[in-house]
């Protein structure tokens, strides 16, 4: 099958690899432009672009596909997409809204050739439409998560569903670990769907249960100890690796990367105990026991090693 692929992060790169391994003809890849990264802030390609180039697949990195924003650039990209004469376009965490004119370019697959663009969306739609579904699901305490393959339309993750599979969210799940799981699941589902395109069925999303996963901001990582320990612990897992969870201690920003709940009471933000077993900080209800921490200029450390180089004592306040 001849496929145009659009994606950017590792989540999408795994799906691209799966398509290539399955023998599909990925004729063109779209990805976000190279971004500065690392200490030297050198321009680096996205994970998807790196995979494509390693397989000799042409890559385009347009700044926009909107004729309204950049008529000449967008029109040239539309012409390039049409020239591929692709059967279908697969989109996974591309990071750019595709206008309807682009969604209509592929020939289409399925019994009536109506499936032109397929989106791999990490959530059980219609729950968690939008930018950060994995983070928001963990933050909200969802018991289950999954992947939905969706026929794309011009709305925000509103298109009809082609396939959906669920997996449980573990009690220790972080955004990083759950992303790895759904990356593999989405890639597997996509390959399976494309094996028998004539049997594809299209199911409209239910109107009930719609929620939106708004983009995560750095400011959300600040820990509010006036919330319950259950909420704080979920947020620490949800914000790993981005934006990370942090609080101020004696004027120093301390990141907390791993913690568990302790049934003990105290003033919110108060250090109840600090030893090799953890830094116990009181919340509105119960407390968290931080076991992996980080201070500025240092790597993440288990609490025993962290406390050897940084003093935290009973009665101190985190805020």
Q: What are phi and psi of 34, to 5 degrees?
A: -55, 140
- Count of domains observed in the chain: 2
Domain assignment present for 319: no
> Quick one: pLDDT band at residue 55, thresholds 50, 70, 90?
very high
Tens digit of each residue's pLDDT (9 = 90 or more) over 228-254: 999 999 999 999 999 999 999 999 999
Q: Is the pLDDT confidence value at 43 over 90? A: no
Please identify, among 188, 213, 238, the residue that sits at the C-terminal boundary of a domain: 213
Q: Which residues contact 264 (CB under 8 A, 6 or more apart)?
A: 272, 280, 282, 286, 287
Are the CB atoms for 225 and 247 separated by under 8 Å?
Answer: yes
Say yes or no: 44 and 93 in one domain. Answer: yes
Say yes or no: 274 and 147 in one domain. Answer: no
Say yes or no: 200 and 252 in one domain. Answer: no
Say yes or no: 244 and 182 in one domain. Answer: no
Say yes or no: 31 and 113 in one domain. Answer: yes
Say yes or no: 198 and 180 in one domain. Answer: yes
Task: Tell me the CATH number at 161.
Answer: 3.40.50.170
Domain assignment present for 315: no
3-state SS assignment for residue 202: coil
10-21 and 47-54 helices cross at what angle (nearest 10)? 20
Are the CB atoms for 301 and 292 separated by under 8 Å?
Answer: yes
Q: Is the pLDDT confidence value at 285 over 80? A: yes
Domain assignment present for 96: yes
Q: What is the mean pLDDT of residues 306-311?
A: 97
Percent of the chain with pLDDT over 70: 99
**Domain coverage including residue 304:** 218-309
Domain assignment present for 193: yes
Domain assignment present for 209: yes
Query: How many Å apart are CA 113 and CA 95, to the nearest integer?
Result: 26
Tens digit of each residue's pLDDT (9 = 90 or more) over 147-161: 999 999 988 899 999
Q: What does each C-alpha distance from 190 to 36, 57, 283 come to in angstroms?
A: 31, 19, 43
Q: Is the pLDDT confidence value at 39 over 80? A: no
Q: Is the pLDDT confidence value at 266 over 80? A: yes
Domain assignment present for 180: yes
Q: Is the pLDDT confidence value at 36 over 90? A: no
Say yes or no: 180 and 112 in one domain. Answer: yes
- pLDDT on residue 239: 98
Q: What is the dihedral sign for C-alpha 48, 53, 54, 56? A: positive
> Quick one: pLDDT band at residue 172, thresholds 50, 70, 90?
very high
Domain assignment present for 279: yes
> Quick one: pLDDT band at residue 40, thresholds 50, 70, 90?
confident
- pLDDT on residue 6: 98
Which residue in 245, 217, 219 sits closest to 231, CA to CA? 245
Say yes or no: 54 and 170 in one domain. Answer: yes
Tens digit of each residue's pLDDT (9 = 90 or more) over 176-226: 999 999 999 999 999 999 999 999 999 999 999 999 999 999 999 999 999
Say yes or no: 135 and 250 in one domain. Answer: no
- pLDDT on residue 258: 98
Q: Is the pLDDT confidence value at 41 over 80? A: no
Query: How many Å apart are CA 167 and CA 182, to the nearest integer?
Result: 9
As a whole number, the mean pLDDT across the chain is 96
Tens digit of each residue's pLDDT (9 = 90 or more) over 94-133: 999 899 999 999 999 999 999 999 999 999 999 999 999 9
Task: Tell me the CATH number at 293.
Answer: 3.10.25.10
Q: Is the pLDDT confidence value at 38 over 80? A: no
Three-state SS annotation for 257-295: EEEEEECCCCCCCEEEEEECCEEEEECCCCEEEEEEEEC
Please identify, among 213, 245, 277, the residue that sits at the C-terminal boundary of a domain: 213
Say yes or no: 67 and 153 in one domain. Answer: yes
Say yes or no: 146 and 254 in one domain. Answer: no
Say yes or no: 167 and 243 in one domain. Answer: no
Please identify, among 187, 213, 239, the residue that sits at the C-terminal boundary of a domain: 213
Domain assignment present for 243: yes
Which residue in 91, 79, 34 sits closest to 61, CA to CA? 34
């Amino acid at each position: 099958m001849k496929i145009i692929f659009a994606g950017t992060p590792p989540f999408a790169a795994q799906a691209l690899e799966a398509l290539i391994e399955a023998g599909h003809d990925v004729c063109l890849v779209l990805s976000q432009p190279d971004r500065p990264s690392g200490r030297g802030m050198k321009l680096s390609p996205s994970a998807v672009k790196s995979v494509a180039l390693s397989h000799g697949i042409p890559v385009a990195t347009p700044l926009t596909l909107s004729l309204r924003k950049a008529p000449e650039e967008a029109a040239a990209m539309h012409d390039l997409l049409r020239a591929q004469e692709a059967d279908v376009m697969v989109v996974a965490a591309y990071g750019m809204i595709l206008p309807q004119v682009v969604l209509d370019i592929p020939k289409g697959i399925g019994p009536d050739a109506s499936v032109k663009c397929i989106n791999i969306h990490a959530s059980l739609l219609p729950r968690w439409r939008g930018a950060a579904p994995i983070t928001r699901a963990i933050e909200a305490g969802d018991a289950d998560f999954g992947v939905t393959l969706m026929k794309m339309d011009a709305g925000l993750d509103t298109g009809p569903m082609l396939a959906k599979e669920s997996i449980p969210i573990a009690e220790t799940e972080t955004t990083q670990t759950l992303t790895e799981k759904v990356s593999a699941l989405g890639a597997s589902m996509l390959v399976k769907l494309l094996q028998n395109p004539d049997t594809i069925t299209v199911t409209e999303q239910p109107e009930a249960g719609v929620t939106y996963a708004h983009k995560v901001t750095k400011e959300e990582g600040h820990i509010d100890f006036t919330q319950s320990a259950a909420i704080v612990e979920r947020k620490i897992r949800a914000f790993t690796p981005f934006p990370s969870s942090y609080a101020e201690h004696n004027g120093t920003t301390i990141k907390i990367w791993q913690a568990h709940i302790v049934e003990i009471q105290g003033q919110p933000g108060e250090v109840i105990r600090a030893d090799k077993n953890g830094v116990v900080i009181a919340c509105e209800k119960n407390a968290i026991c931080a076991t992996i921490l980080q201070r500025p200029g240092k790597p993440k450390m288990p609490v025993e090693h962290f406390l050897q180089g940084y003093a935290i004592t009973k009665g101190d306040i985190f805020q």
